[in-house]
Chain A
Amino acid sequence: MNLMDQKFAELKAAGRTALIPFLTVGDPDLDTTVELIIQMEAAGADVLELGVPYSDPLADGPVIQRASERALTSSVTIGTCIDIAQKARQRGVKIPFVLFTYFNPVLQIGLEDFFQQLAAHDISGLIIPDLPIEESAQVLELADTAGISLVPLVAPTSNERISRILTNARGFIYCVSSLGVTGERSSFHEGVEQFINDVKSRTDLPVAVGFGISNREQVERFSSICDGVVVGSAIVRKIEDTIPLLTDSERREEGLLQIREFVAQLKV
């Protein structure tokens, strides 16, 4: 049982829903990312998604696209993203990490090296948004060997694919709340509750929901039916808005506190 599985088991025993924030590693810079991870944990994050910046983020909306562009200007690589996990551990962070990355950077490192690095850096899970089950056999095998959970995405359009996806799922199931890319939303796919309940009824793994969840009210709504809620773009936007503070050595603490408070008020 890896760290993330333990976490979900504890939460289940306590009858709580996991708050899963997302941030783009290297936005606005690597040192700040480590500080932000510390703040997220302090704010009550249960699991943290570490986003690897990518030049062509097909599943992401404008907010995370901009974060990627900012991170890439300082030459952040998938390797530095993995290293960040260890840097955070050295600073005492205990929560499990899930790496969110597009497939091409993984392919360029080489699959075997990649999984060795994940295991060596205490990363528990992996989400690859452009790797559907048809293409994932080898990745899944290596992930299993390394003890890393390959977390699948399930979409409202998955329909009869759901059972095949669930068969190969590890860690938790990531339900996509809506058709579309990541980004804050005021409304979700019609029948999203039914979709989530359907997935829940067919798996013993925790079920989390993400894409578009951006405020406390929405977190509450989904917490009542899910085991985890992912908040991405709303946090990344908050980070973006706070960059002037975060990059000013005299006002950095103030910026970090703002992010912490923003994440803390999402905690149900």
Chain B
Amino acid sequence: MTQVPDENGRFGDFGGRYVPETLMNALIELEEAYRKYSQEPAFQEEIDYLLKQYSGRETPLFYAERLTKHLGGAKIYLKREDLNHTGAHKINNAIGQGILAKRMGKGKVIAETGAGQHGVATATVAALLGLECKVFMGEEDMKRQQLNVFRMKLLGAEVVPVVSGTRTLKDACNEALRYWVSHVQDTFYILGSATGPHPYPMMVRNFQRIIGDETRRQILESEGRLPDLIVAAVGGGSNAIGMFYPFVEDTSVKLLGVEAAGRGVETEYHAATMTKGTKGVFQGSLSYLLQDAFGQVLPAHSISAGLDYPGIGPEHSYLKDIERARYAPITDQEALDALQLLSQTEGIIPALESAHAVAQVIKESPKLASDQIIVICLSGRGDKDVESIMGYLGGDPS
């Protein structure tokens, strides 16, 4: 398999750099700086140090024995990204880009956030590294994730409410990009997912690949072999691509991304980009996209703010087209059920995003033999969602 992306940021047909001219030199400088510093051992050492001593890596690969028995199929392991500092995999990337911003001499960082996890991770790293931080967040998401808004403010970041368009993650990204166009000379944009113009999809993947690299080592230690199936939730797709990437060449390992079907892929209320989308250019790259016949981007819907996004990272589109990975939709209700099941069988309350991956495993596991192995990327913990889950379940979990 050839290395992707190519020098133009292409993953097969996908990716590229579709941005206003004002940003082009900034993206080129970013790519050059990233390539230069990532060759320097001191840069990687600084990242490794913070991942270990600050975020608490490596994260465990936990055998979910009770869940395994309950489902009665393959052996299920959980990659515990939820145990990272700030509660999700987002910190892996925020640390990497934060250190890069510092090396590039940029004292100000901006970020977009949906569920608030990437915003919190960026605000955290900005505090740690002494950077000024602004986080763009859709007004609708600010309502859904009030605790994370407050958390970012506690960390010293400014949260900028986004009132354009759908007032969710997609418009937060637009607003962050617009702000960046105006402040490109002194500001670093810490993009949170494996989306956007080149070099972001490549760079974010590389900062997140530690998830898959650790998983590979850990499963070889505990089982002496690679897993049969790896499952991860996909919004923009950063935890999934970080988990998948080190296994792409291992064709015995099936890769399965799980997207949000919201109220069902047959309704208008979903975020099932792979199931229902078509190829389009959105926020800087060519990928699958939820859009109408005239190229207008459609609003997405998911119970989970982190998956509520009409686009997807270009490398996922590539993996789908070359049939290296498969993508399946999970509804809001299935995710809620899975969240409760994992909470009650393993004592782990997952983020709603991660619950989508668990829900898909509920479907997959019984089809597999007991000597087969599934790894779920448990990308985040559910603390941020407890209040909204209480709303959905009427305060009475069954």
Write the residues of chain A forming the contact surface with B, with a CB cutoff of 8 angstroms. 54-56, 58-59, 61-62, 65, 69, 72, 77-79, 102-109, 129-132, 134-135, 152-159, 161, 165, 176, 179-181
Complex contact A103–B18 (CB within 8 A) = yes
Residues in B1-41 with C-beta less than 8 Å from chain A: 8, 16-26
Q: Within 8 Å of chain A (Cβ to Cβ): is B248?
A: no
Stretch at the interface among B85-93, B181-189, B325-333: B181-189
Q: Within 8 Å of chain A (Cβ to Cβ): is B165?
A: yes
Complex contact B297–A56 (CB within 8 A) = yes
Interface contact tally, CB-CB below 8 A: 117
Report how far A132 CA is from B16 CA in the complex, Å: 10
Report how far A104 CA is from B293 CA in the complex, Å: 11
Complex contact B22–A55 (CB within 8 A) = no
Report how far A77 CA is from B291 CA in the complex, Å: 13
Complex contact B21–A56 (CB within 8 A) = no
Q: Which residue in B24, B165, B178 is a CB contact (below 8 Å) of A181?
A: B178
Determine the residue in chain A with the shortest Cβ distance to B286: A107
Complex contact A72–B19 (CB within 8 A) = no
- Smallest Cβ distance from A171 to chain B, in angstroms? 16
Given contacts A103-B281, A104-B280, A161-B21, 6 further A-B pairs with CB under 8 A are A56-B282, A78-B295, A105-B294, A105-B295, A108-B293, A132-B17
Interface size class of B (residues with CB under 8 A): 35 or more
Residues in B166-204 with C-beta less than 8 Å from chain A: 170-171, 174, 177-178, 181-185
Q: Which residue in B165, B293, B295, B296 is a CB contact (below 8 Å) of A107?
A: B295
Complex contact B280–A176 (CB within 8 A) = no
Q: Within 8 Å of chain A (Cβ to Cβ): is B340?
A: no
Complex contact A158–B295 (CB within 8 A) = no
Complex contact A158–B281 (CB within 8 A) = no
Determine the residue in chain A with the shortest Cβ distance to B8: A134
Q: List 21 A-B contacts (CB under 8 A).
A: A54-B296, A56-B165, A58-B177, A62-B164, A104-B295, A107-B281, A107-B295, A108-B293, A108-B294, A130-B284, A153-B21, A155-B24, A156-B22, A157-B21, A157-B185, A158-B25, A159-B25, A161-B25, A180-B182, A181-B178, A181-B181
Q: Within 8 Å of chain A (Cβ to Cβ): is B283?
A: yes
Determine the residue in chain B with the shortest Cβ distance to A136: B18
| Given A130-B281, A159-B25, A179-B182, A104:B19 Cβ within 8 A | no
The residues of B that contact A58 with a CB separation of less than 8 Å are 19-20, 174, 177-178, 283
Report how far A174 CA is from B235 CA in the complex, Å: 36
The 8 closest A-B pairs by CB, nearest first: A108-B295, A180-B182, A105-B295, A155-B22, A77-B294, A104-B295, A55-B296, A55-B297
Q: Which residue in B26, B165, B184 is a CB contact (below 8 Å) of A55?
A: B165
- Smallest Cβ distance from A211 to chain B, in angstroms? 9
Residues in B281-310 with C-beta less than 8 Å from chain A: 281-284, 289, 291, 293-297
The residues of B that contact A158 with a CB separation of less than 8 Å are 21, 24-25
Mark contacts of B149-174 with chain A using CB atoms, 8 A cut-off: 1 yes-contact digit, 0 otherwise: 00000000000000011000011001
Determine the residue in chain A with the shortest Cβ distance to B18: A130
Determine the residue in chain A with the shortest Cβ distance to B20: A59
| Given A107-B280, A108-B295, A179:B18 Cβ within 8 A | no
Complex contact A104–B282 (CB within 8 A) = yes
- Smallest Cβ distance from A140 to chain B, in angstroms? 15
